[in-house]
Structure 1
Amino acid sequence: MASCRTYGLRHWKRQLFQIMLYAVVILGVFGLLSQIILLSSKFRIISLLTNAYDNDNLELSNATERTINNQPKTFLSYKHNFSFPLDIDIAYLVNEKIQFNISIPHEAINPHPFRYMNLPQSCDFRFRKSFWTENDTILVLVKSSASHYALRAAIRSIWKTVDDPGIKKVFLLGYDGINQSQINEESQNHGDIVQEDFKDAYRNNTFKTIMGYNWAIQFCSKVKFLFFMDDDYYLKLSDLASYLRKIPEENRHSIYIGSLSKAGVPYRDKNTRWYVSAEEYPFDLYPPYIGGGAYVVSYDVALRFHLAFPFIKYIPIDDAYLGIVARKLMIKPRRDIKFQSYYRGAIAKECSHDASELVKQVCPLARLGYNIYIHQNKKRPKNRTLLRSLLITIGILVAALTFIALPVFLHLYCEGICTGN
């Protein structure tokens, strides 16, 4: 009888030990799998976030990854031998033109042979009894697609309460034959359309930007600040005016500020609209440039840009092109957090392609930018992610042994004492 009891106790101990072992193995495998999933999600978080918010930005994220991974070794090094046509001292020649009205003695390689189709009235800042003067004037130029009537209407609605005689607002459009009659009517009703007869297309955005500078120099020459923005941005117009007018008089020159890209990589994937060929731009990096969605230039910078454009080879990416022009003119772009979409206190932020969301300041694009910024700027180095995952797995195993094995061991130990074994 005692031997049967002893055999039963040993069998029970063996079964309990096997259950404990299985539990530890299952928990360990579960912990390892969970960390593998967590690790893989770390590397895919930008794509997942982008897919959740905006398919266009998903294409941008994937294109960036493909461009970096597939960057050919044949591209020239920007850091070692940058030179871009025309290979002339354009900074010196522009200064000579401004100071002494000496013509630039070179044939233009980037002509702008387009004609205006719609023009607003010239800038006429009627201050009357206003506190502001000509040194406080601001021109807001909104780059807009011809078909984006709803976004332009939304922007006008947002700004209608701002009655400031020192601010002029215009929209920059290319030609779209399908919508042209409606654009002409819009121009007559609001008087704020600047339009030329180049095709309204993404790869003509540099033409649109050049048009904006040319119009400003010709028709708004008394303005002090120029603010460029895309039509999917939400701009706090009064805050912009207050911010710029607080800049001391002695510092209101050589301004080229916004969201700074210090080492942008050209897109070499032909399937994206940001594609730039080696013939268009042969270097591995762009010069530092300000993102074209929202930025400020002072009038003196706008004038120098305007004079230099005809002598600097065209590329279809407008903000990168301005970075090239600034580099050749020795104008330094500077980061200003007030124009960063991820900054909660931003004056202008990328908002939405939906007019109703724009009016309500519901900005999924800014939220996307904030999430990506937080992900990319975590203090923990990325190369420690795997180590962290392994440590967590080991911790799970230790916890499993502690909370399962230890109670079982104590139970068996006490049972052995009670039975005299």
Structure 2
Amino acid sequence: MYRPALKPTGYSFFTYRSRHKILISLAIFVSAVISLNFLASALKSFALINSLNGNLPKHLDRSNGGVIIAVLSTDDEAGMLRREYGRRWWRRYQNSLSIPEPGANTSTTVPFNWIFIVDTSKQTHWEGDVLYLNTPSGYKHLGEKMRRLFIYLSQKFTSMEFLIKTDDDVVLCLNRLAKAVSEVPKEKRRRIYGGTLWNAELPQDPKHKFYDPLFVQDTRGTVIKTHPYGVGAAYMVGWDLVRFIGRNAEELKVYEIEDLMVGTWLYGLDRYWADYDGDFNCGCFKYAEKFLGKANEAKGIHDKSIWGERSVWWHDCKTRFQLDGCHAVFKDSAC
């Protein structure tokens, strides 16, 4: 027998109007969550950029095609000592880098600025040639320090050639480095990623100094040797790549091992590798020791690689005696 449908006695959840209202409310809620996340991200970026907003000192040359040498340092007595030696070293180049052009008897001269980078909990500011960068301190935070440095430099210097990153305990031979740059076609120099090619054994022990938990996690513990990257003692990054990192820094993962981190950021990009050698153990000091009349041969040191044309940097030159020795060796050289 036919029975007419019963009229609803209340407002059903399954009516068209109720579903419509619920869907609209849900859409509004989702939009609000997305907007709040976007706002939080924007505020975070603004706070970071604002904390890095130290104006450049007038003495810095912002000419097109220039080079920046960023020297990581510390704000203690040892750092102050090495910065003073560093200034003495950089002055010998008279603020210009001469790049020989292959196949011609000519060279391209570009101006360079050296700046020392010291972390601070205060707002970013300058004191002479020292940039006090608002960033966490300590070895474990070097990755974040470099990320903030890329942001700052990409905003403050608009049209440069490339960045050289080094440390205050490194003696860097700019003329030999210029030779490595000369092998890169001119049109590729703003996309240089140069340094000492290194495939590091990746430590798996959390107690190891170079253990990087986030990198191990991201590679799911499968990487025994890393991809090639430029050793942190002295590597170059072309300005197009510097600006790419600066623009995308908020989206890039920060690792503890800063040179591996930069190499990871650049690994999939169109970049041009410039390769050169270096010495991890203050090799110039070893020869300086002999040069200064010390008994070096008794230690069995006969390696002459320091005089090789591609030896560009010497690392771990920390003490006054070591620095005096290196500066003495290169006093009259074309380094």
For the superposition of Structure 1 and Structure 2, which TM-score range results when normalised by the shorter chain? 0.5 to 0.7
The match for 1:358 is 323
Return the alpha-carbon distance in structure 2 between the equivalents of residues 339 and 333 of structure 1: 19
Return the alpha-carbon distance in structure 1 between the equivalents of residues 236 and 271 of structure 2: 13
Return the alpha-carbon distance in structure 1 between the equivalents of residues 185 and 270 of structure 2: 20
Matched, 1:174 2:114: no
Q: Displacement of 1:281 after TM fit?
A: 5.2
Return the alpha-carbon distance in structure 2 between the equivalents of residues 332 and 214 of structure 1: 19
Structure 1 range deviating more: 146-155 or 244-253: 244-253
Q: Provide closer, same or farther for how the CA distance between residues 298 and 126 of structure 1 changes in structure 2, counting only shifts above 3 A.
A: closer
Q: Displacement of 1:239 after TM fit?
A: 4.4
The match for 1:218 is 155
Matches within 5 A, 1:375-414: none
Larger gyration radius, structure 1 or structure 2 = 1
Question: SS in structure 2 opposite 1:273?
Answer: coil
Matched, 1:347 2:322: no
Higher relative contact order (CA 8 A, sep 6+): 1
Matched, 1:138 2:62: no
Question: SS in structure 1 opposite 2:187?
Answer: helix
Q: Displacement of 1:325 after TM fit?
A: 0.9
Q: Displacement of 1:157 after TM fit?
A: 1.6
Asked if 2 retains the 8 angstrom alpha-carbon contact of 1:281 and 1:315, the reply is no
CA-to-aligned-CA distance 1:224-269 (integer Å, 9 cap, x gap): 121111111101235445654675423323210111123x333232
TM-score (normalised: structure 2) = 0.61
Asked if 1 retains the 8 angstrom alpha-carbon contact of 2:197 and 2:276, the reply is no
Amino acid at match of 2:269: M
CA-to-aligned-CA distance 1:91-114 (integer Å, 9 cap, x gap): xxxxxxxxxxxxxxxx69x96837
Asked if 2 retains the 8 angstrom alpha-carbon contact of 1:138 and 1:241, the reply is no
Matched, 1:282 2:220: yes
The match for 2:201 is 265
Structure number with higher strand proportion: 2
The match for 1:28 is none
Structure 2 gaps, min length 5: 1-40, 97-110, 284-304, 329-335
The match for 1:318 is 258
Question: SS in structure 2 opposite 1:224?
Answer: strand
Q: Displacement of 1:362 after TM fit?
A: 7.4
Return the alpha-carbon distance in structure 2 between the equivalents of residues 230 and 214 of structure 1: 19
The match for 1:196 is 133
Same amino acid, percent of matched pairs: 19
TM-score (normalised: structure 1) = 0.49
The match for 2:81 is 150
Asked if 1 retains the 8 angstrom alpha-carbon contact of 2:163 and 2:237, the reply is yes
Return the alpha-carbon distance in structure 2 between the equivalents of residues 203 and 126 of structure 1: 32
Return the alpha-carbon distance in structure 2 between the equivalents of residues 251 and 340 of structure 1: 27
Structure number with higher helix proportion: 1
Matched, 1:304 2:244: yes
CA-to-aligned-CA distance 1:27-86 (integer Å, 9 cap, x gap): xxxxxxxxxxxxxxxxxxxxxxxxxxxxxxxxxxxxxxxxxxxxxxxxxxxxxxxxxxxx
Return the alpha-carbon distance in structure 2 between the equivalents of residues 333 and 244 of structure 1: 10
Match of 1:336 among 270, 275, 285: 275
Return the alpha-carbon distance in structure 1 between the equivalents of residues 59 and 256 of structure 2: 29
Amino acid at match of 2:61: F
Asked if 2 retains the 8 angstrom alpha-carbon contact of 1:252 and 1:298, the reply is yes
Asked if 1 retains the 8 angstrom alpha-carbon contact of 2:62 and 2:157, the reply is no
Amino acid at match of 2:314: K
Q: Provide closer, same or farther for how the CA distance between residues 359 and 211 of structure 1 changes in structure 2, counting only shifts above 3 A.
A: farther
Amino acid at match of 2:117: L
Asked if 1 retains the 8 angstrom alpha-carbon contact of 2:198 and 2:231, the reply is yes
CA-to-aligned-CA distance 1:321-361 (integer Å, 9 cap, x gap): 1122112x434573612446575232222141213412431
Asked if 1 retains the 8 angstrom alpha-carbon contact of 2:70 and 2:166, the reply is yes
Match of 2:57 among 110, 115, 121: 121
